[in-house]
Structure 1
Amino acid sequence: MPDSSNPFSDPQVLRAAIRAGEFEGPTSGLGGDALQANLVILGGTDAADFLRFCQANPRPCPLLAVGEPGDPSLPTLGRDIDLRHDLPRYRLWRDGALVDEPTDIAAYWRDDMVSFAIGCSFSFEDALTRAGIPVRHQQNDRNVPMYRTKLPTRPAGRFGGPLVVSMRPMLAADAIEAVRICERFPLAHGAPVHLGDPAQIGIGDIMAPDYGDAPEFREGEIPVFWACGVTPQAAIDAARPELAITHAPGHMLVTDIPSGRAEAMLTGVNNNKT
C-alpha cells in the first residue's frame, strides 16, 4: 500500500518519475509492497530458448509475464507499463558482451523483441522489514550484493551457466524467520538457497560481490543467500546472443501487483506462453 509520506511508495508515481528521467537509482525499498521484476529482452529464436531456460530453472527465473513480440507493454503487471522507459537503468549486450548501461532503450527496440519479467527478491524485503528483520543494504542506501556461484543451472538451448545469488547479512534467529517468510513468495525466488559459509557455493570473497555493492556485516551475523534474477545475465554471457537487453542489477521494473497476492493474480503465466 502506498505511503503518503513517500511518493515513491506508489509504483505508478515511481515509474512516472523514472520515465521522466527524475530517478535512476536502485529500487530496493521502493514501490511499497509491489512485486518487482528483473527484465530480459531477446529477439527471434533466442527468445524461445530463453523461455525454456526459465521453465527449467524456476527458482532463479520465476516467470511473472512474457510479452508479445514487439510489444513493450506488460498489461498483466501494471497500467501503462512501457519497458522502453520504465526501468531506472538497463544493460545492453551484444554478442554476450556488456556494451552500455542506458537509462532508456527506445533506440534499440525491435519488432521481434520478446520481454520476460522475472521475479525479484526485492519483493519480499517489505515483508522482512515488517517482521522486524533489518535489510542492511536498504539501511545503508546501497545496492544488494550479488555473486556468481559454482552451482550450475539447467541448460536449455544456448542458455546455461552458473546460479547467481543475492545476499543479506542476518542474525541466525532472523535467518530462520526469513526462511519461513520467504517461502510464501515463490515468485520472488522463495526461501534462501544457502546459509553460512560462502565457500561452500563457490564464493571466494564475500566482500567482493560480482554485482551490486560490498556488504556490511555486524557482530553475530551470517550471510544468507537467495537465488537471484541476475542469473540470466550470466546465461547471456555464456550464450552470446546477437542482441540482449536486461535490467541493470538492482534497477528493477516495479509493477502494480501486491507481492502478497502475486501468486493468485498471476497463476498460469508460465503455462500461457509455451
Structure 2
Amino acid sequence: MSSDYTPQKARKLSRETRLQARTGELADITLNLAPGVVQGNVAILPKKWAGDFLKFCWANPKPCPLLAVSEPGDPMLPRLGQDIDIRTDLPMYRVFRDGVMDQDVADISSLWQDDFVTFVLGCSFSFDEALRDANIPPRHLQLGSSTAMYRTNIEAAPAGPFQG
C-alpha cells in the first residue's frame, strides 16, 4: 500500500470505482482498483432462500466470510458505504437461474425483485493485497490468473439446500 494511503482516500477511490461501474466505464475485474478497501463477492437470492444461506455462511465462516446482508428488496448497502446500489455498482453480474448460468449483464436493475436479499462475502483480492504488502507475491498472480481457486476434500457444513 502506498505511503500516502488514508482511509478517506481509500473510501473516495472505492466510490469512484463503483461510479465507473455504474456508468459503464468499468467492465473488468476490480483487482488492484481500490487498494486498502476490502473487496467482496456478491450473492443475491430470493428471501425464501436467504435464511438458509445466512445459516450456511454462519456455519462456514472461512469459505463464506460474511461482510454484509441487505434487507429484503433493498438494493442499498449502507453498512459498507454511502450510495452503494448493488444493482448497478459492479462491473459485471453473472446471473444464474435454477442453478444454471444464464447470462452476464452489466446492470441488474431490470431483474431486481422486491424479495431479493444481497449477501456480500469476503473476496480473495483483499487477501492478495495483504500478501503483496508483505512482499509475498501470490502465486496465481505470478501465473497470470486473477483469482486463486483451490479444490478441497473438506465438506462445508450444510444448511437447508446449501452444501458442498
Compute the TM-score of the two structures, normalised by the length of structure 2.
0.86
Q: 1:136 to 1:147 in 2, by over 3 A?
A: closer
Tell me which structure has the larger Cα radius of gyration: 1
Counterpart of 1:154?
157
Counterpart residue identity of residue 146, structure 1: M
Q: Report how far residue 148 of structure 1 moved.
A: 3.8
How far apart are residue 147 of structure 1 and its match?
A: 3.6
Which of 16, 22, 28 is matched with 2:25 structurally? 22
Partner of residue 32, structure 1: 35
Q: Which amino acid aligns with 1:39?
A: V
Instruction: Please tell me whether the aligned partners of residues 29 and 138 of structure 1 are also in contact (alpha carbons under 8 angstroms).
Output: no
Q: Root-mean-square deviation (CA), in Å? A: 2.1
In structure 1, the gaps of 5 or more residues are 162-274
Cα displacement string for residues 229-253 of structure 1 (whole angstroms, at most 9, x for unaligned residues): xxxxxxxxxxxxxxxxxxxxxxxxx
Q: Does 1:73 align with 2:102?
A: no
The one-character-per-residue Cα deviations of 1:94-130 (angstroms, maximum 9, x if unpaired) are: 1111111111111110000011111112112222222
Which portions of structure 1, spanning 4 or more consecutive aligned residues, are displaced by more than 6 angstroms? none
Give the unaligned 5+ runs of structure 2. none
Is the Cα–Cα contact under 8 Å of residues 11 and 31 in structure 1 kept in the other structure? yes
Equivalences for residues 175-254 of structure 1 within 5 A: none
Q: 2:61 — aligned with what?
A: 58
Partner of 1:87: 90
Residue 131 of structure 2 aligns to a residue whose secondary structure is: helix
Q: Decide which of 110, 119, 123 is 1:120's aligned counterpart.
A: 123
Q: Distance in 1 between matches of 2:140 and 2:92?
A: 18
| Cα pair 1:2 1:10 within 8 Å, conserved | no
3-state SS, counterpart of residue 99 of structure 1: strand
Q: Which residue is 2:114 aligned to?
A: 111
Q: How many residues align?
A: 157
Structure 1 position 24, deviation (Å): 1.2
Among all aligned residue pairs of Structure 1 and Structure 2, give the percentage whose two residues are the same amino acid: 49
Deviation of 1:26 (Å): 1.2
- Decide whether the 8 Å contact of 1:63 with 1:119 is kept in 2: yes
Matched, 1:101 2:126: no
